[in-house]
């Protein structure tokens, strides 16, 4: 693997949609310009926040090319090349490398729930097809695949992966993996609910909703913990940021009613940055009652609400 992985906060950039339901590529550049200006260390097009599952392969390629062109080499890019088949994941991964991505983000094959052994073969075949690092996107709820620490260590030792985005609600999964690899495997907090603990354990960075909505404030938390070891300052910052995290995951945690994480994310970006439109149905725009909760939270984090 020729390139090094990034450290810091990584914004999962969104995919804007037009009235026809197709990606609105013209809105990608202003969105990425804003994300960079606000302080992200890296970009991840076509992660969950990029709504990759709503796009066919040609659309994914077009979105990624537009994002890479907009970034123009300013920040490291971690391109999502997920697919439920190994063959198409390989095709998308090769395209991403050729288009200029610095690394890949790949969630395990979804829906069919392959065995750990089968998933490991999936990653080996992708790694054989490219020369840039692969970050394994560990996301049990949306894939029904739970690679344990021993599986991840083996893939790392085989050079099939260079990093893991750990979207697991147990902070010790990050801690255990860091200890098992001596910190050599790059580990990223992949869900905001464990970001504080994950960074304190020594995670190399943070890829999730909050760095994608408010990258500048997320960066303050990262710097306080990872660069200055200033835990009191980090706690004070997190006390403010946690309000956004709890609203964002209210439906996710209840497995029912509440604000949908992605509705919160797109609403936030529409309020404080260039317009990015609404989520692709079945996910719907944020309900007004949740929007009224969101506005003062964003203001408290230092963001100006557009039109207010």
pLDDT (tens digit per residue) in 228-254:
999 999 999 999 999 999 999 999 887
Lowest mean pLDDT among 2-6, 141-145, 147-151: 2-6
- The closest of 236, 231, 211, 147 to 185, measured between CA atoms, is 147
Helices 116-129 and 149-157, interaxial angle, to 10°? 30
**What residues does each domain of the chain span?**
8-230
Give me the catalytic one of 123, 137, 188, 222. 137
Question: CA-based angle 286:63:280, to the nearest 5?
Answer: 25
* Residue 220 annotated to the active site: no
Question: Given 3.40.50.720, 3.20.20.70, 3.30.1280.10, 1.20.1080.10, which CATH number is that of 8-230?
Answer: 3.20.20.70
Sheet holding 134-138, edge to edge: 42-43, 8-11, 205-208, 186-189, 163-166, 134-138, 103-106, 78-80
Q: Give the confidence band of 308 by pLDDT, cuts at 50, 70, 90.
A: low
pLDDT tens per residue across span 107-137: 999 999 999 999 999 999 999 999 999 999 9
Q: Which pTM value belongs to this model?
A: 0.96
Mean pLDDT of 207-219: 97
Region 150-174: what's the mean pLDDT?
97
Catalytic residue check, 165: yes
- Compute the distance between CA of residue 43 and CA of residue 9 in angstroms, rounded to an integer: 9
**Would you say the C-alpha torsion 4, 71, 221, 209 has a positive or negative sign?**
negative
| Catalytic one of 123, 165, 220, 303 | 165
Name the pLDDT band for 2 (thresholds 50, 70, 90): low
Tokens 């260039």 -> residue: 274
State how far the Cα of 23 lies from the Cα of 89, in Å rounded to an integer: 20
């Amino acid at each position: 693997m020729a390139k090094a992985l990034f450290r810091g906060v990584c914004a999962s950039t969104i995919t804007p949609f037009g009235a026809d339901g197709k990606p609105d590529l013209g809105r990608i550049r202003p969105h990425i310009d804003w994300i960079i200006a606000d302080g992200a260390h890296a970009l991840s097009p076509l992660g969950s926040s990029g709504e990759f599952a709503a796009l066919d392969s040609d659309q994914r390629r077009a979105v990624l090319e537009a994002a890479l062109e907009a970034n123009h080499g300013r920040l490291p890019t971690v391109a999502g090349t997920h697919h439920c088949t190994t063959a198409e994941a390989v095709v998308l991964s090769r395209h991403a490398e050729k288009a200029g991505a610095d690394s890949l983000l790949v969630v395990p094959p979804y829906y069919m729930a392959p065995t750990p052994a089968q998933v490991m073969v999936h990653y080996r075949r992708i790694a054989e097809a490219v020369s840039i690092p692969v970050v394994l996107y560990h996301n049990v709820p949306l894939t029904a695949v739970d690679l344990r620490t021993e599986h991840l260590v083996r893939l790392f030792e085989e050079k099939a992966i260079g990093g893991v985005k750990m979207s697991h609600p147990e902070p010790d999964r990050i801690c255990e993996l860091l200890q098992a690899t001596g910190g050599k495997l790059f580990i990223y907090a992949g869900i905001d609910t464990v970001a504080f603990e994950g960074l304190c354990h020594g995670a190399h960075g943070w890829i999730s909703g909050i760095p994608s909505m408010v990258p500048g404030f997320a960066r303050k938390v990262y710097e306080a913990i990872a660069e200055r070891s200033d835990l009191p300052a980090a706690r004070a910052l997190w006390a403010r940021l946690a309000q956004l995290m709890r609203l964002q995951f209210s439906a996710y945690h209840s497995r029912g009613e509440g604000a949908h994480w992605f509705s919160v994310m797109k609403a936030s970006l529409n309020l404080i940055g260039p317009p990015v439109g609404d989520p692709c149905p079945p996910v719907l725009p944020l309900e007004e009652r949740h929007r009224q909760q969101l506005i003062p939270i964003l203001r408290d984090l230092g963001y100006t609400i557009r039109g207010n």
